[in-house]
Structure 1
Amino acid sequence: MQGSGVRSLMSCLVDVDLAVCDVDDGYAAAIGRARDDVIGCHLPDLIHADDRAAFSERLRALCIDGRGFSTTVRLAGDATRRVWLTHHVSLLQLGSWRRVSMTVAYEDVPPVDDERRVLKRAAERILGKRRLRERYLGSAVVGEPAFDLLLELFVQEAEGRAVYTTSAAVASGAPLTTALRQIAMLVESGLVRRLPDPIDRRRVIVQLTPDGMRTMTDYLAATQRV
């Protein structure tokens, strides 16, 4: 049913090699397979080819730095299929035991235009690579929290999700006080704005301004030509 929004929540568990360890029946049904057939599959193989590389990079970065993320990706299958899964991804660790846990929302959403999806994937790839750079080189070498924040806002807005101040601070990868200063700097520069949540006015939404969206769109488009 088109336009109905989120319909149910499901779960999926994969190992650090991205092989599926366990799924519930709802996730298997969304993929269009029996549950036993999904277990053991390489998770990225179940994702549409257009989204597979960026999704895989973010999963690999998570296994290294433990930083969770959310992303909406299209299922592999018929080119006319209009079903996406939103994965809220985190790393579970107990001693040497590690698994990637995903709470998954099965959604019917309008297809994003091709150019916007290309730019969203570009932003996700940059985020994944920056997480790996930080892991191997250290934040003092590659730490650019304002840029990380702009990338994260672009990705989340492309997927239609609101980003709140605390989430934005976490996305920047900087200590809270530093992150808040970076947000204030971006607001002053005109790239980012703060808006009250229309449902809970105690919370503040952080989003790109029209100028910020144009700037990031132009930048990401330029990266595709390099």
Structure 2
Amino acid sequence: MQADFAYEPVHDGAGIQLAVTILADRDAVRAQMREDAEAAGYRVLECCGLDEYASGASGGLGDLVLVDCVEPDAGAMALLSRLDMRAGKSGAQLIVSTTMDALDAVFGCFSMSGAQILVDPGHAERVIAIGRSLAHVPNLRLRELAEEDRLMLLRLTEQVAGMAERLEKLSPGQREGGGAFRLEASSSAWRGAGDEYVVRSENTAVPRLPEGPVIRALIARRQARAKFFDADLFADPAWDILLDLAASRSERQQVCVTSLCIAAGVPATTALRWISQMVDTDLLVRIPDPHDRRRAHIALSDNTADMLARYFSEIGLGAKEQVLVL
């Protein structure tokens, strides 16, 4: 049964119905996007292919922009980058669907707009993404929503909200109100010096990340559970992402977003949500490719790398440990 969401028309503060721009080269996908947007209460401002829009024949940008890009050639990537910039400045919301093969190129085009990126999405995933965009519209009212669809939307909302809460308020941390990092209480080794602090430590050795093969062996052991149990039973994308990036940092390897989605062990769209939340909470950083500014890599922030090194040291997995002691 397909999700059937129906909303009252959505309006801005001036009472004007919000508009959507739909850009897709695949006819069937473009038609489905239009149907879903209209059902959500948007009026269609533009509905055409990427090349047609880029040609300048159409130039309007709706409050919501739905894009389907499966062949990110130079022209398409240039258009996506412009859309990212325009949406980032205007506050328009972007929902972009693509394929796993095109993910790295598409991901690299979006850094300003906070676009939702969906990988090989089904109809329900697109509907849910539009529903998330509607959460930013004030005074939104649901007109008709079947109980099954209501539960599906509720589960998704709880999942996304829970994800953000776990990352932002997992434990008391560095930032006011808590954060994703947990730090030990300061000891007598700390002393004030004006507005600065210096540390006197009996042990000046700073924990370092274990060697790459050691972390890879740990990852392999985690993955081995799927041979005997349902992999969903142990789904832990945040930790799998951190482990993969820790190993890559030790190996001095850059990590593309496609590789990281695979390492997360969950559907790519779900992995992208985790990556986005982890970047927002400073666990991860987005690094533009110096050789191709349209692409980007993901890495551990320095604080995260330090916390992971301390964790590995705590469990006896130091930088000089051998794989056999795991």
TM-score norm. by structure 1 comes to: 0.46
- Compare the two structures and name the one with the higher strand fraction: 1
- Compare the two structures and name the one with the higher helix fraction: 1
Q: Which has the larger radius of gyration?
A: 2
TM-score norm. by structure 2 comes to: 0.32
